[in-house]
Chains A and B, each alone.
Chain A
Amino acid sequence: MALHLVVLIKVVPDGKEVFVDPVTFTLNRSMATNIINPADENALEAALQIKDKMDAKITVMTMAPPFAEPFLMECMSRGADEAVLISDRAVAGSDTYPTSLTVAAAIRKMGDVDIVFAGEKTSDSSTGHVGPGVAEFIGAELASYSRKVTYEDGYVIAERELENGVEEVRIPTPAVVTILTDSNDPRRATLRKKIDAMKKGIITWSLADINIPADWVGLRSSPTVVKKMLPFPRKDRKAEKIEKDKIPELIDNLVKAGVIKLEAE
């Protein structure tokens, strides 16, 4: 039977076009165009690479207002088989807790999901909560910080990039894998898949479709409180331009300061 892979995406403002307001320290997103969260593109690519090797169905899913539709279409144009948009006025203002809960309910509704892929974090809020949250709510194993994922007879093998090295884990399905930004090279859309996507269209689910009561979600059911935003403190660095003839002197000084060590040839 075909594997069922679900890829979670989020539409975010392009970080290159977001500015911090110098007075209020809030994010000014008004100039920004929307993009697929970069790590989510890598998550989709990781799923597509599994589909390249074996019989698999990929469902891409997001929770967002209808403006996210073209981005779901783009995912199908790259090779996802179907797209689900969870869209409901009641979810507005939800933080990562009700979001994970809602997404998990949608995954449970699908019933047959083997692996859930998500970006390790989003570029607009960087919490990294939703992937692990979904794993918790659906009772699946989790491999976070992954850069490479393969599937073998009911197990997911993930290469996890940690602070002190790389760890390879083997976990049973159903599993959730969160993928690091830039961990692969996302493929481009093709015309054939674009046409197919336009013919298929997008599946839209409301909260009622996934049996989530409206008072479980939204701003009121979100425990996160943003108290304050602060600018990142700038550190003035000492910089000095060294002319070519001063390089031996520089090396001497660095050796004396213990920054570098010269080895005999």
Chain B
Amino acid sequence: MSEFDAIVVGGGPAGSSAAMRLASAGHNVLLVEKADPPGSKNVSGGVLWGNDLEAVIPDWQKTAPVERYVKAKGVGFLTKESNIGLEFRSGLFDKNRAGHMVLRAKLDQWLVKKAKDMGAMVATGVTVDRVAFDKGKAIGVEQDGDIITSDCVILAEGANPRVAIDSGLREPLNDKDVAIGVKEVIKLSEKTVNERFNLRDKEGFAGEYVLGFLPDQVEAGGFLYTNKDTISAGVVISMKHLRENDRTYSFDIIEQFLEHPAIAPLVDGGSVEEYSAHMVQEGGIERVPKLYGNGYMIAGDAAGFSFSNGLVLQGMNYAIASGIAAADTFIEAKKGSGVSEESLAGYRKRLLDSYVLKDLYNFRGIDEVTWGRLPHRAMPNALEHIMKGLFIEQGVPKKHLYQLMTEALGESGIRTSEAVLEGYRMLRRM
């Protein structure tokens, strides 16, 4: 007889959602989180697309500790002197306020407390060593030589899945599979945030940027999210490029982003409240491990469930959806024939039926087009050339748009044939 019906490793959105679902179905569940308090080791930006939370916390829209809701979404290409951007600011966001800026230190604590209130036992400040196996079946978790037993283990340990790797349930991560995220939380005032981003009340702005001005071959993206009276700003740098360029430092790139002429005025005068760095999963479907086995399931970032197409960067929604799917699979297995590899196969089926695995399959290979010279160098340069031709009067005869675009390809820094081919691939995969 096991001590617990289920042990959930990780108290982020995936783990807490699983624990809430299990506890409210009457299961005896242990949630283990290494950070104390929960969320204090998290770096996510971030925007929570929380529709899935409704299944475990019906009134989350009213009660969750969110900062602002997404009222405007921006994408910008930065060159040394310019920001060529697109902004979608719309009343359509008001009707279903699903996207919210969150500070994970607050959100994760709240989620874990909810799980506790629903009946889960919560142990924080302790790190599980590995999943314990007996005759090929997961029988619990091992920590400091002790084995805590359970019928099922749900691994929801996040982007750095040490337990899964050390238990042989996941391959070690390669440089290609991860990026490094560096973030600052910059304190301003609510009024200043509203004025600088053209916002009212609870409205928020979420922006993603391509850092086309970086030296060498370094490729990185930037992000800027408005919280109530702070701004979360940071960069995501490809691990491969960090490794290949000895003179490139993540702390230097975030500084270059924050000092860019289009960004600096937005954060001017703010004081840095938090500074943090973490890895981001970028491997896509190719790097999703085996999601379940006899007595265990893997959810959230630990399973590689994060999505980035250069325009959006998401993970929390996949985490919540997969955590709930894992819990539901366990609940069904307990009602039926019990926990086995066959009964937990339902987890993968649930994910295949949902947007979690559908998105990852549909956007297979997306990393090859989001990282590359076309989006990171050619597009910012070419766009700047077109904008300059269109909008800066130079006292010379004006050119047609087509002519400007042809010229722009020449200014882009990559060969025209390469640009056309890459552009086609990008449109197809994005």
**Once bound together, how far apart are the Cα atoms of A74 and B146, in whole Å?**
18
CB-CB contacts below 8 Å: B92-150 with A: 121, 123, 125-126, 128, 141, 143-144, 146, 148
CB-CB contacts below 8 Å: A182-235 with B: 188-192, 194-195, 198
Indicate if B8 sits at the interface (CB-CB under 8 A): no
B167 nearest CB across to chain A (Å): 15
Residue among B3, B32, B121, B144 with max Cβ neighbours from chain A (10 Å)? B144
Contact, CB under 8 Å: B121 / A191: no
Contact residue among A74, A188, A191 (Cβ-Cβ distance under 8 Å from B32): A191
A150 nearest CB across to chain B (Å): 25
- Size of A's binding interface in residues, CB under 8 A: 10
B300 nearest CB across to chain A (Å): 20
Contact residue among A77, A188, A190, A198 (Cβ-Cβ distance under 8 Å from B146): A190
Residue among A77, A190, A194 with max Cβ neighbours from chain B (10 Å)? A194
**Once bound together, how far apart are the Cα atoms of A196 and B282, in whole Å?**
39
Contacts of A74 in B (CB 8 A): 125
**Once bound together, how far apart are the Cα atoms of A112 and B141, in whole Å?**
38
Closest residue of chain A to B7 (Cβ to Cβ) is A191
B357 nearest CB across to chain A (Å): 32
Indicate if B218 sits at the interface (CB-CB under 8 A): no
**Once bound together, how far apart are the Cα atoms of A189 and B125, in whole Å?**
8
Contacts of A195 in B (CB 8 A): 3, 30, 121, 123, 148
Closest residue of chain A to B4 (Cβ to Cβ) is A195
Contacts of A77 in B (CB 8 A): 126
A187 nearest CB across to chain B (Å): 9
Contact, CB under 8 Å: A192 / B143: yes
Contacts of A190 in B (CB 8 A): 126, 143-144, 146
- Size of B's binding interface in residues, CB under 8 A: 13
Contacts of B148 in A (CB 8 A): 191-192, 195
Contacts of B32 in A (CB 8 A): 191
**Once bound together, how far apart are the Cα atoms of A189 and B36, in whole Å?**
12
Interface string of A144-168 (1 = CB under 8 A from B): 0000000000000000000000000
Contacts of B125 in A (CB 8 A): 74, 189
Contact, CB under 8 Å: A198 / B121: yes
Contacts of B141 in A (CB 8 A): 191
Contacts of B3 in A (CB 8 A): 195
Contacts of A188 in B (CB 8 A): 126, 144
CB-CB contacts below 8 Å: A66-111 with B: 74, 77
B113 nearest CB across to chain A (Å): 13
CB-CB contacts below 8 Å: B1-57 with A: 3, 30, 32
CB-CB contacts below 8 Å: A114-132 with B: none
**Once bound together, how far apart are the Cα atoms of A190 and B148, in whole Å?**
11
B127 nearest CB across to chain A (Å): 9
**Once bound together, how far apart are the Cα atoms of A63 and B121, in whole Å?**
27
**Once bound together, how far apart are the Cα atoms of A9 and B146, in whole Å?**
27
Closest residue of chain A to B123 (Cβ to Cβ) is A194
**Once bound together, how far apart are the Cα atoms of A77 and B36, in whole Å?**
14
Closest residue of chain B to A191 (Cβ to Cβ) is B143
Closest residue of chain B to A187 (Cβ to Cβ) is B144
**Once bound together, how far apart are the Cα atoms of A250 and B123, in whole Å?**
59
**Once bound together, how far apart are the Cα atoms of A159 and B149, in whole Å?**
42
**Once bound together, how far apart are the Cα atoms of A192 and B7, in whole Å?**
13
B10 nearest CB across to chain A (Å): 14
Contacts of B121 in A (CB 8 A): 195, 198
Contacts of B126 in A (CB 8 A): 77, 188-191, 194
B165 nearest CB across to chain A (Å): 19
**Once bound together, how far apart are the Cα atoms of A194 and B144, in whole Å?**
12
Closest residue of chain A to B148 (Cβ to Cβ) is A191
**Once bound together, how far apart are the Cα atoms of A195 and B143, in whole Å?**
12
Q: A198-B121, A198-B123 are in contact. Are A192 and B30 (CB under 8 A)?
A: no
B residues whose Cβ falls under 8 Å from a Cβ of A:
3, 30, 32, 121, 123, 125-126, 128, 141, 143-144, 146, 148
A residues whose Cβ falls under 8 Å from a Cβ of B:
74, 77, 188-192, 194-195, 198
Q: Which are the 4 A-B pairs with shortest beta-carbon distances?
A: A192-B146, A191-B143, A190-B144, A194-B123
20 contacts between A and B (CB under 8 A): A74-B125, A77-B126, A188-B126, A189-B126, A190-B126, A190-B144, A190-B146, A191-B123, A191-B126, A191-B128, A191-B141, A191-B143, A191-B144, A191-B146, A191-B148, A192-B143, A192-B146, A192-B148, A194-B123, A198-B121
Beyond A189-B126, A192-B143, list 7 extra A-B contacts (CB 8 Å): A77-B126, A191-B126, A191-B141, A191-B146, A191-B148, A194-B123, A195-B123
